[in-house]
Structure 1
Amino acid sequence: MTIILSTLNARYTHASLGLRYLLANMGDLRDRTRLQEFVIGAKTTDVVEKLLAHRPRIIGFGVYIWNVEETTRVVAMLKRVAPDVTIILGGPEVSHEPEEQRIVQLADYLITGWGDVTFPQLCRQVLNGPKPLMKIHAGAQPPLADLALPYSLYTDEDIAHRTLYVEASRGCPFKCEFCLSALDKTAWPFDLDAFLGALEALHARGARLFKFVDRTFNLNIKSSLKIMQFFLDKLAAHPDDPVFAHFEVVPDHLPDALKEAIAQFPPGCLQFEIGIQSFNPEVQTLVSRKQNNDKAADNIRWLCEHSHAHLHVDLIAGLPGEDIASFARGFDRLVALGPHEIQFGILKRLRGTPIIRHTEPYRMVFDPYPPYTILATDRIDFTDMQRLVRFARYWDLVANSGRFAHTLPLVLGTAPFANFMALSDWLFANTDATHRIALEKLAALVKQWLRGRDVDADAVTTAMANDYAGQVNKPATRTKSPPTGQAAPQRQARHLAA
C-alpha cells in the first residue's frame, strides 16, 4: 500500500466525506490508496503504529479545528520514527494562516482549499519525481462535473452504523463573516440526476440516514423540491422502513411550494438546522449577514405549527456589537417561536474568516488554542462570557436533552433568558461543574432551584413526574428525530466535518 488517507474524526459515527472524495478521484493511484480513519482521543502511538503497518510512502491528513492538536502530535511522532514517509496536509484548519502552525512546519507538503484534483497530482510527483520544491500548493477547483462522486466508498459498516454525509452543492453565496463559507464566491450545484442516482444506490444498500452538508439547501427551490420528492417517494414505497434527512436551510426563504413538500413528511423523517445567529440588525450588518428577521421568525413559527420537521435553530453569543441584553432579547424571541432545540453557540475565530477585522474596534479576545473561542469583547467581559459558556452547557443538559420537557416551562417562565441564566449561575455555584453531572443529581438540583423560586410545589412535582414517570434515569418517551451523529452542531464549523 503506497498512500494512506487519514483523519481523526470527532466521533466514530462521523464518516469523512472529504477523504472519500479524495479516494474517489485518485485515478490510476486509487488501487494503491487506502482510507484509514481514527477518532480523537486515540493514543498517538496506536495511531502511528496502525498507519505504519501498511508501509506507506505517503500519508495525507485531513486537518480540522477539532483534531489539529492531536494530528500535530501524530505527525510529529511519524517524523521521528518514519522520516522517509511523506506527509501531506489538507483541510480548512491548515488552509489559512499556515505559516504560524507547527503542524505545517512538521509536514512535507500542504494543499490549501480544494484537494480533489491537486492531491493525486502531488502524489504522482512525490512517487515518480521530480519532487516539488514548493511546500504549499493552492488546490485547483475543477468543475464539479469532472469529479467522481464518492458515495460508493461508504462501506456496509458505514451504512449500518455511521452518519452518511452527502452534498448536492458546494459553496455559499452569503458572506457571514464568522463562517468559512464567507470566502466562497457562490454556490456550485452537482449534476442533480447523477447525485440522486448515487442516493438511490445508497438507499438500495440499506442507507436510511442522510445528512446534507450543503451550506444552503433551499437556495435553489427547484432542486430542493426534487431532492425532497426523492425522499417522499422512498417513504411512500417503504412506509415501514423510513428514511431520515437532515438539511441546513436559510430561514427567510421558504416559498409555498417548499412548505407544501415539507408538510408531507411524517414525524421522525426530517430535520432542519436553521441559522439565526442574531436577531440584532446592527450586529447582522457588522458581520455581513443579510436576513429578514420577521420573515425568518414567521417561517420558524410555520414549521413548528404546520410541519413534523425537527428544528435545530442556532444562535451565536459573542458577535461584535452584541451585548448580553441584546443576545437575551434574541434568545427570548426564539424561545417564543418554539423550536425543538436552540443550539447556543459561542463565537469561534475560524482561521481565514473575515471576523478578524473586528478584533481591534470591538476589543475581541480569542483563545489562542483550538477551537479559538471568544473570551471577551468590548460589550461582554471575560467573567460574563464564561457565564454564557456555562449557560450553553446547562442548556444542552436541561433543554436540548429533552429530559425536562414538562419542567422547562416552569424554569423559563415569562423571562426565559434571565431565568435560565439564574438557574445556570445557581447550578455552577452549587456544583462547580458543567460536566459529569448525573441525571438524578441534576433533576434534584433543578427541583430544588424551582422550589427556591416560589414555584408551586405541586406543579413542580407533577412536571417532574411527567418527565420521568418516577424514574429519573429513564426520561419519558418524546417525539425526537433520529440521531444525526453530531452533538450540538454549530453553524460555524459544521461543514468542516465533510
Structure 2
Amino acid sequence: MPQIRLTTLNARYIHSAFGLRYLYANLGELQNEAEILEFGIQDRPIDIVEKLLQHRPKIIGFGVYIWNVAEVGSTVALLKQVAPEIVVILGGPEVSHPPDLPLVAELADYIVTGVGEISFRGLCEQILNGEAPDEKIITGAESPLENLASPYPYYNDEDVRNRIVYVEASRGCPFKCEFCLSALDVTAKPFALDRFLGEMEVLYRRGVRHFKFIDRTFNLKIAVSIAILEFFLERMSDGLFLHFEVIPDHLPDRLKQTLEKFPSATLQFEVGVQTFDPAIQRLISRRQDNEKTKENLRWLKASTHAHIHADLIFGLPGDTLNNFAASFDQLVALQPHEIQLGILKRLRGAPLNRHNETYRMRYNPEPPYNILSTRDIGFDEMQRINRFARYWDMIANSGRFAETLPLILADAPFERFLRLSDALYELSGSTWKIALRRLFDLLYRAMTESLAISKVDAKNVLEADYRKTGEKGLASFMKTEGYEKGKSSRQNRANKRQRSFE
C-alpha cells in the first residue's frame, strides 16, 4: 500500500499537475511507496479526503497555488480533523515565501519552499525512518537540471488522450519584471537539448499532439528555439499544436524564417505586453522595446499562421484609466487574435509588493488576491474594468462577434467598449451566466442606445454573427419592426430586384 500520496487540485480536468510528476520521478526508491492522485477545485473537500485516506498513507503532499489555495485549505482542515496522525506536507508557490503564508500553512506539518524535487524526497525519507526534523519549513534545495529524473514517463494514457501535456525546455527567467515570481530567478537554465528532444519524441510516439511549453522565455536562446521548432516541423501532423510564451521584442530573422513554415492551427504564442507605458515599465523593472514589440506583433500577424494571445495587466503601480486606455488602444490596433485583460493579483514573494504602501495597493484578502484599488484607481473604476474584461472575453476573445466587434470599437476602442460594458451591466445586472441568444439581444440594445449605432447597421452585423453560431430560431433583435420586410439592406435590394421581374 502506498505510504506517500502526492496530490493537488487542478483548475480544470484538462490540466495535469506537472509539479507532482517531477516530485514522483525524483523519489528514487520511495517511488514504490508513492502514488499521484489529482482532483479538481470543483470537487468537494469531503470526497477528496475520503479518497486520500484509502489505505491510510503516512504522508500526503499537496501542491498549493493561487488558484487552489482556498480549496486545499478546506481539504487539509477536514483531513486534520479525521486523521490528525497523517503528516501533511505543503509545497508550491503559494507557500514558498515565509513569513507571507496563507492560513493553510498553520495546519500543515511541514512546508517545502521553492523547488522541491530533492528536498521533498529527503523529508519523506526522514519521516518514514522515524527521524522527522524539528523545523517546519524546509528550504528547497536546487539541483543541476541534468541530475533530475524526467517527469514525462509519468503522463499516463488518459493524460495523453484527454489532458494538456506540459513540458519545459528551460527553467527560470533572466528578466526582473516585478509582478512575476520569475523575477526572483537568477537566470534561465536550459535542459540538455538532445535529452529533451528525445523525451519529446517518446511523447509524440505515444500520441501526444498538444504540447504546452511552460518556459517563461522560450525565444531567449534562438538556436535552441529553432532546433525545437524544427523537431516538430519534421513531425507535422493533423492535430499537432504547440503553445509558447515568447518575449515580444526578440524575433531575429533566423527565428522568423522557421516560424513562417508552420501551417495554420499549429502555433499559439502567448505574448506578454502588460503595458506600453514607459514610466510604469521603469517602475516595475520591465525591459521592453515597445516599438520592436509592435513591429514583431505586426509581422507575426501578417507573415505567420500563429494564433497570437497578447496580455495586458490593469492595476499596476502608477496605472490610471487613461494610460491603460492608451495601452489597450495601441494593442487593439495591432490586431492580435486575443487580448487577455488581466487584473493585477498579489503574488506572495513578488518584488512588486515593495510598492504597496507608496501606491496604496489594496488587494482582496481572499484568493486570487485581485487588486481592489490603488492611489490612482478607485474601487468603482476597478470594478468597471473587471466587468470590461469579462465582457471582452465573451465578445472579443470568443470569436463569435467578428462582424460586430469592428463596429463597436470604431476609432476609439477603449472608450467605446467601456461605454458598451457599462450599458451591458446596466441592462443585465451580471457578467456571468448570460445565454448566447440573450447576449445578442443585449448587444443590440447597448449598441443602438449607448453607442448610437443605427438599428439597421447593428442588425446587419449581429445577424451575420448570429447565423454563424448555429443557434436555432431568431433572437429577439431579429424580430423587431422592419426585420421581416428585409433582413438586411442587401436583402431589401434583392427583394426589389425580384419584384421588378415579376
TM bin, normalised by shorter chain, reads over 0.9
Contact 1:363–1:378 (8 Å) recurs in 2: yes
Aligned counterparts of 2:247 and 2:160: Cα–Cα separation in 1: 28
Aligned length: 470
Following TM superposition, by how much is the alpha carbon of 1:54 offset from its aligned partner in structure 2, in angstroms? 3.1
C-alpha distance in 2 between matches for 1:283 and 1:290: 11
**RMSD of Structure 2 on Structure 1 (CA):** 1.1
Tell whether the 8 Å contact from 2:94 to 2:101 is kept in structure 1 after alignment: no
Q: 2:30 aligned with 1:29, yes or no?
A: yes
Q: Is the 8 A contact 1:171 1:185 kept in 2?
A: yes
- Name the aligned partner's letter for residue 218 of structure 1: N
| Distance (whole Å) between structure 2 residues aligned to residue 259 and residue 208 of structure 1 | 23
Q: Which residue of 2 aligns with 1:462?
A: 460
More moved, 125-134 vs 457-466 = 457-466
Conservation of the 8 A alpha-carbon contact between 1:234 and 1:242: no
Tell me how far 1:100 sits from its aligned partner: 4.6
**C-alpha distance 470-122 of structure 1, shift in aligned 2 (>3 A):** closer
Please, which of 334, 350, 368 is the counterpart of residue 347 of structure 2? Answer: 350
Question: Are residue 267 (structure 1) and residue 264 (structure 2) matched?
Answer: yes
Could you say which residue in structure 2 is the equivalent of 1:385? 382
In structure 2, the residue matched to 1:301 is 298
Equivalent residues of 1:328, 1:417 under 8 A apart: yes
Which residue is 1:252 aligned to? 249
| Bigger RCO of structures 1 and 2 (CA < 8 A, at least 6 apart) | 1
Match of 1:489 in 2: none
Q: Call closer, same or farther: CA 1:454–1:105 in 2, change over 3 Å.
A: closer
For 1:284, give the aligned amino acid: Q
Q: In the TM superposition, what is the alpha-carbon distance from 1:44 to its structure 2 partner?
A: 1.0
Matched, 1:447 2:444: yes
Unmatched segments (≥5 aa) in structure 2: 473-502
Render the CA deviation track for 1:106-131: whole Å, top value 9, x for unaligned. 11100000001110110000001211
Match of 1:484 in 2: none
Q: SS of the residue aligned with 1:245?
A: strand
- How big is the shift at 1:470? 6.8
Kindly state the Cα deviation for residue 462 of structure 1 after the two structures are TM-superposed: 2.6
Name the aligned partner's letter for residue 39 of structure 2: F
Runs of 4+ in 1 over 6 A off after TM superposition: none
Paired with 2:193 and 2:59, the residues of 1 have a C-alpha distance of 34
TM superposition shift of 1:450: 1.8
Summarize the alignment of residues 476-487 of structure 1 with structure 2, pairs less than 5 Å apart.
Answer: none
* Distance in 2 of aligned mates of 1:92 and 1:344: 23
Query: Which 5+ residue runs of structure 1 have no aligned equivalent?
Result: 475-498
- Per-residue CA deviation, residues 405-436 of structure 1 (Å, 9 max, x unaligned), is 11000110100000000000011111110100
The 5 A counterparts of 1:125-144 are 125-144=126-145
| Aligned 1:221-370 pairs, distance under 5 A | 221-235=222-236, 238=237, 241-370=238-367
Whole-Å Cα distance in 2 between the matches of residues 54 and 207 of structure 1? Answer: 33
Alpha-carbon deviation of 1:99?
Answer: 5.8
Q: Residue 23 of structure 2 contacts residue 117 of structure 2 at CA under 8 Å; is this kept in 1?
A: yes
Cα pair 2:408 2:417 within 8 Å, conserved: yes
TM-score (norm 1): 0.93
**C-alpha contact 1:58 1:88 (8 A) present in aligned 2:** yes
User: 89-98 vs 431-440, which deviates more?
Assistant: 89-98
Q: Shift of residue 279 of structure 1?
A: 0.2
In the alignment, what sits opposite 1:406? 403
CA distance in 2, matches of 1:99, 1:450: 46
CA drift of 1:378 comes to 1.2
Of 409, 416, 419, the match for 2:416? 419
Alignment match, 2:486 = none
Residue identity opposite 1:115 in structure 2: G
Contact 1:98/1:104 (8 A) holds in 2: no
Q: 1:276, CA displacement in angstroms?
A: 0.5
Does structure 1 conserve the Cα–Cα contact (< 8 Å) formed by 2:95 and 2:101? Answer: no
CA contact (8 A) 2:440 2:466 kept: no
- Distance in 1 of aligned mates of 2:408 and 2:269: 26
User: Structure 1 vs Structure 2: percent identity of aligned residues?
Assistant: 55
Q: Quick check: 1:39 aligned with 2:40?
A: yes
Q: Secondary structure at the match of 1:469?
A: helix
3-state SS, counterpart of residue 405 of structure 1: coil
Q: Within 2, Cα distance between the matches of 1:422 and 1:106?
A: 47
Instruction: List per-residue Cα deviations over 1:417-473 (Å, max 9, x = no partner).
Output: 000000000111111101000110111111122222332433322322321227563
Judge conservation of contact 1:443–1:472 (CA < 8 Å) in 2: no
Higher Cα Rg: structure 1 or 2?
2
Shift of 1:84: 1.2
Q: Is 1:182 the counterpart of 2:180 in the alignment?
A: no
Change (3 A) 1:332 1:28: same
In structure 2, the residue matched to 1:210 is 211
Residue-by-residue CA offset, 1:337-369 (whole Å, 9 max, x unaligned): 000000000000100001111111111111111
Q: Which amino acid aligns with 2:211?
A: F
How far apart, CA to CA, are the structure 2 residues paired with 1:101 and 1:459?
52
1:440 & 1:196 partners in 2: Cα distance? Answer: 47
Q: 2:79 is matched with which residue? A: 78
Shift of 1:78: 1.1
Q: Does 1:152 align with 2:153?
A: yes
Distance 1:120 1:426 in 2: 55
Partners of 2:322 and 2:261 in 1: CA distance: 39
TM-score (norm 2): 0.92
Task: Report the Cα distance in structure 2 between the residues aligned to 1:416 and 1:274, rounded to whole angstroms.
Answer: 20
Give 3-state SS (helix, strand or coil) of 2:244's partner. strand
Partner SS for 1:380: coil
Structure 1 residues 470 and 134 mapped into 2: Cα distance closer, same or farther (>3 Å)?
closer
Whether the 8 Å CA contact 2:110–2:136 is kept in 1: the answer is yes
Answer whether contact 2:115 2:140 (CA < 8 A) is retained. yes
**Equivalent residues of 2:260, 2:305 under 8 A apart:** yes
Using the alignment, how far apart are the partners of 1:198 and 1:66 within structure 2? 29
Secondary structure class of the residue paired with 2:235: helix
User: Which residue of structure 2 lines up, in the alignment, with residue 11 of structure 1?
Assistant: 12
CA distance in 1, matches of 2:110, 2:421: 46
- Contact 2:59/2:86 (<8 A) preserved: yes
Task: Write the deviation string for residues 296-346 of structure 1: whole angstroms up to 9, x where unpaired.
Answer: 000001101111000000000000111110000110000000000000000
3-state SS, counterpart of residue 117 of structure 2: coil
* Alignment partners' CA distance in 2, 1:86 and 1:473: 53
Aligned equivalent of 2:491: none
Q: CA deviation at 1:153?
A: 0.6
SS at match of 2:132: coil
Is 1:473 aligned to residue 471 of structure 2? yes
